[in-house]
Amino acid sequence: MENEDKTGMTGDKPKSLLFISIDFPPARTSGIYRPVFFTKYLIEAGWDVTLLTASTHLSTFADDSLFDDIHPRLNVIRTSAPMPRRLTGRLYSKYQETTGKTAGDAANPSLKSRFYRILKKTILSPGFRIIDNFILIPDNYIIWSLKNLPTALRVIRKRKITHLLVTSPPHSVQVLGLLLSFFTRVRYVTDFRNSWTDNQPYLYHIRERFEKWLERKTLTRSRAVLNMSPGDVDRLLARMPDLPKDKLFVVTNGYNEGDFSRLKTAGAVDPSGPLRLVCVGSMYAHSGDSTAEALHIVAGKGYSSQHVILDIIGFSDPTFDQLIDSYNVGHLVSNLGFKSHRELMDAYPSYDVLLLLTGGTAYYHPGAMPGKIFEYMRLGKPILHVGIEGTTQQMLSQWGPQVFVPLDNPHGIASAIIDLINRKKTASLLVEPNWDYARAFEWRCLARKVNDVLSAIV
């Protein structure tokens, strides 16, 4: 089903852009901010912008407050498509509900439970493996991308589109962009929020070769390639040294200055009460294990919830929750769950220190940058960065009050937390950051870079 909001600009449109992005409000993902703010400020710069997005999304979180920043003249087209991952997810949930019983039940499974086990072993698992590895290439949204090729062609013809900007992941949308660049004279620009084939856990060599061929076709066909960090550019050139360097650009994520207009500026910290840390985003055992152990060390030195509290705002994986229980530090950690963006902004002023975790898996490379660091920098509060050396650590060093501890050093993390507790007691927690550096990551500034890239392609 297709639903088009006809809110485009009138008059002559010398610059007309089709922006393709799966991530868009109300889906709450880290990828929604680039299409929202790039389209907003490109329209202000004189572009006629149409955005093609999905009306169905695998994200389980929705946040209607994110609609507030969408430009009223943005022409939004939402389309649906079959989502195989939703079906497979429901089938596995049904299997887990049926077989996930007590130990006694496992020893004497019911007839229904035995039936589902046989079904999973003989049909579901082999079937899903074939679908995931040989049909959904490069990902679950390939059906949406192919289905919407005619829709995108109509938009290009009807609105006299001159430029095409496609942001991924999911990288299936780049397949759509690639096809559009062959069938039309549109000037194709790719935006890689994450690398495509680097460090992917491919099970089959033929699948890996095909995806790398698709990636190379996309990059060579594109008139310009936007990357999230200098590290991403370096990794691309290491694999494809023949790529022209002059068409690779770095445009990071950023923050929205409007979100901070009603927040109190960071001032003197009240030395009374516990040190309040917050970690925003997803918390997993592979990245949070050293933090859990560090809190255990801190508790062993006589510190309690009267001295330090860690709040998690976002998703907390059960494996991390189990770690907290095993270290007996549940009294120091609270999982506040998902909050809307507006609620998150309202909550920020109550915290003393912002916890940032990087690394933890082989897929998190030194050039990666979590999107939350830009809001963190704009808040002006101390950042406890537990992670790996690389682009993020270097950026925060230029910004100012970063306390960096390697991810694999729980005793160092514990020492840093105790030092921060003592600094709060002596009202010496705040340090003036480099505001000029932080302001360079405001979305309006970043959109100017995108405008410059697009405008140079004639």
- What string of H, E and C letters represents the secondary structure of 202-219? CCCHHHHHHHHHHHHHHH
b/e burial code for range 105-132 (CB count within 10 A of at least 16 → b): eeeeeeeebeebeeebeeebeeebeeeb
Closest residue by Cα to residue 75 from 102, 45, 56, 48: 48
2-83+140-254+442-456: which CATH topology?
Rossmann fold (3.40.50)
Closest residue by Cα to residue 138 from 216, 78, 77, 62: 216
Given a contact cutoff of 8 angstroms between Cβ atoms, the answer to whether 115 and 90 are in contact is no
Q: Which residues contact 122 (CB under 8 A, 6 or more apart)?
A: none
Report the distance separating Cα 271 and Cα 401, nearest Å: 18
261-439: which CATH topology?
Rossmann fold (3.40.50)
- What's the chain's Rg over C-alpha atoms? 24
Please provide the average confidence, as pLDDT, over all residues in the chain. 87
Pick from 5-14, 20-29, 62-71, 426-435: least confident: 5-14
pLDDT of residue 63: 81
Q: Which amino acid is at 56?
A: T
Q: Which amino acid is at 425?
A: K
Pick from 27-36, 130-139, 191-200, 404-413: least confident: 130-139
Strands of 353-357's sheet, edge to edge?
Answer: 333-337, 308-313, 275-280, 353-357, 383-387, 402-406
Q: Three-state SS across 247-286?
A: HEEECCCCECHHHHCCCCCCCCCCCCCCEEEEEECCECHH
Report the distance separating Cα 296 and Cα 399, nearest Å: 30
Its pTM stands at 0.85
Q: Is the pLDDT of residue 393 over 50?
A: yes
Pick from 35-39, 130-134, 335-339: least confident: 130-134
Alpha helices in 327-406 (DSSP H): 341-347, 372-379, 391-399
Helix, strand or coil, per DSSP, at residue 169: coil
pLDDT confidence band for 380 (50 / 70 / 90): very high
Which residues share a beta bridge with 188? 164
Burial of 301 (0-12, 13-18, 19+ CB in 10 A): exposed
Residues of the chain with CATH 3.40.50.2000: 2-83+140-254+442-456, 261-439
Helix, strand or coil, per DSSP, at residue 129: helix
The CA distances from residue 203 to 126, 134, 198, 209, 440, in Å, are 13, 11, 14, 11, 41
Comparing 82 with 104, which gets the higher pLDDT? 82
Q: What angle do CA 329, 330, 335 make, to 5 degrees?
A: 130
pLDDT of residue 140: 87
pLDDT confidence band for 161 (50 / 70 / 90): very high
